[in-house]
Amino acid sequence: MDLSPEELKEVTDYLSISLRTEYVYRSQRIRDLTTMDDEVSMIWPRKWQVGKILFLLTRYTPMLLIASTILNGYKINIVFPPQVCSGLWLTGQVSFTITSWSSDIALLLCLYALLGSKRRYLAVLLATHTGLFLGTLLQEIGWMREGSYALPISPTDQDLGYSCTWAGAVTPESMRSHVLALYVNLAKSAWMTALTLGILYFRYRKQEGSLINVIRRDGGMYTIALTATRLGGSVISTSNLVTGAYYNVAENIFSFLNTLAIPILACQLLLNMQRTEDPGVRSVVWTLLFDAPRPSADSEDEFDEGNSTERRMNVVEYAGLGRKRNDLEVKGEA
């Protein structure tokens, strides 16, 4: 196998990235085992409502992305036909899109629960996110389709143990749409970051306790880490297109974080929302995301009859931040 110095450097860089990514993806299995107990006890017994659907989508869709990425991008010493390679690549792109959407929606719903505001504000949040999300997705369709084009396996890729050879040809129109999509995604990430910081500020500004303990309540650390990761990845991806830099360390790090860390943080945020003791947050969580907890003989703390009755009485609709609607109505009548 005779390669020019430029081709040899390109192959060496790709192999290095490939091996590092394989190790990171294997760590996904460790995360699956560490959170399985929480999933079985807190998610599976619930009814099929928004919270359960979001959790399962966010948790299991990345596995399709990981499987397709390993099969079509790493050394497995199996040769696939071009049609199979294209299908695997598109499966990975669709899986990543679904995971990004479900993670964002989980974050927005949990932020709304922390805010305790009126339903029309939730509609505004979801409408804004939907507009930005569709603005990104529609611009990416041509780029994803052309990026999936595969060729019969080349001797070099076959010797290295790869399963696919990619055409790597994208039209200028699709590339321009891809660049525009990255800018729209950057705007969405910046908007969600500002929204997260604003809601956390208004919720915790008057609460007592050290800053770190206050932020940890109700999943504050998860929301900050999730939005920071999303924003960092968007900034790096956009700046790389502007500067023409590819395969750099920062892009690889944020690629790993967006693929693995964001779904983990979103799932932990949904689990944490169920554990919170704040009656206002629980009111919104159980009404919007999950069914109200039911008595269980196996749990004496959270699901005994007394606590279950008390929690059901606390599930009321909120009229605004820290204001229960039924309390306002009673005061008005008085």
Predicted confidence (pLDDT) per residue in 168-222, tens digit: 888 999 999 999 999 999 999 999 999 998 888 887 776 665 555 555 665 778 8
CA distances from 242 to 183, 196, 233, 235, 237 (A): 11, 28, 14, 11, 9
Quick one: residue 207, left, alpha or beta (phi over 0 = left, psi -120 to 50 = alpha)?
Answer: beta
Distance of CA 116 to the CA centre of its chain: 23
Spatial neighbors of 182 by CB under 8 A, at least 6 apart, are 234, 237, 238, 241
Query: Residue 286: what pLDDT?
Result: 80
For residue 143, name the pLDDT band (cuts at 50, 70, 90): very high
Residue 296 falls within a domain, yes or no?
A: no
Has residue 5 been placed in a domain? no
Look at the chain and report how many structural domains it folds into.
1
Model pLDDT, residue 302: 42
CA angle 156–259–246, rounded 5-degree value: 50
Contacts of 322 (CB under 8 A, 6+ apart): 116, 280
Is there a domain that residue 17 lies in?
yes
- More confident: 234 or 280: 234
Distance of alpha carbon 154 from alpha carbon 148, whole angstroms: 16
Residue position matching structure tokens 């910046």? 190
Cα separation, 100 vs 259, in Å, equals 9
Rounded Cα gap, residues 150 and 168, in angstroms: 8
- Supply the pTM of this predicted model: 0.76
Asked whether the predicted pLDDT for residue 134 surpasses 90, the reply is yes
Cα separation, 228 vs 262, whole angstroms: 10
| Across 38-64, average pLDDT | 87
Of the pLDDT bands very low, low, confident and very high (cuts 50, 70, 90), residue 56 is: very high
Rounded to 10 degrees, the C-alpha dihedral 71/74/78/80 comes to: 60
Q: pLDDT band for 325, please (50, 70, 90 cuts).
A: very low
Q: Are the C-beta atoms of residues 284 and 320 closer than 8 Å to each other?
A: no
Q: pLDDT band at 314, cuts 50/70/90? A: very low
Q: Kindly state the average pLDDT of the residues 271-296.
A: 75
Residue 329 lies in a domain: no
Backbone angles phi, psi at 319, to 5 degrees: -95, -15
d(CA 150, CA 166): 4
> Minimal CA–CA distance to 270: which of 83, 102, 31?
102
Least reliable range by pLDDT among 16-25, 45-54, 144-153, 266-275: 16-25
**Which one has a higher pLDDT value, 260 or 91?**
91
The pLDDT value recorded for residue 300 is 43
Find the CATH number of the domain harbouring 29. 1.20.1070
Confidence of residue 116 (pLDDT cuts 50, 70, 90): confident
Share the mean pLDDT of the chain: 77
Residue 308 confidence (pLDDT)? 40
Query: What gap in Å lies between CA 125 and CA 291, rounded to an integer?
Result: 23
Residue 213 falls inside a structural domain: yes
On the question of pLDDT at 16 being above 60, the answer is no
Instruction: Give percent of the chain above pLDDT 70.
Output: 71
Q: Which residues contact 18 (CB under 8 A, 6 or more apart)?
A: 73, 74, 75
Q: Is residue 65 part of a domain?
A: yes
pLDDT class of 114 with cuts at 50, 70, 90 = confident
Instruction: Give the model's pLDDT for residue 242.
Output: 72
Give the range of the structural domain holding residue 214, as residue numbers without chain letter: 12-291
Strands (E), 236-322: 318-320
Cβ atoms of 257 and 237 closer than 8 Å: no
> What integer is the mean pLDDT of 304-320?
42
Residue 297 lies in a domain: no
Query: Is the pLDDT confidence value at 104 over 80?
Result: yes
What's the rounded mean pLDDT across residues 318-328?
A: 43
pLDDT at 313 over 70: no
pLDDT at 305: 38
pLDDT(288) > 50: yes
Residue 320 forms part of a structural domain: no
Q: Give the pLDDT of residue 193.
A: 94
Helix (H) or strand (E) holding 238: helix 220-243
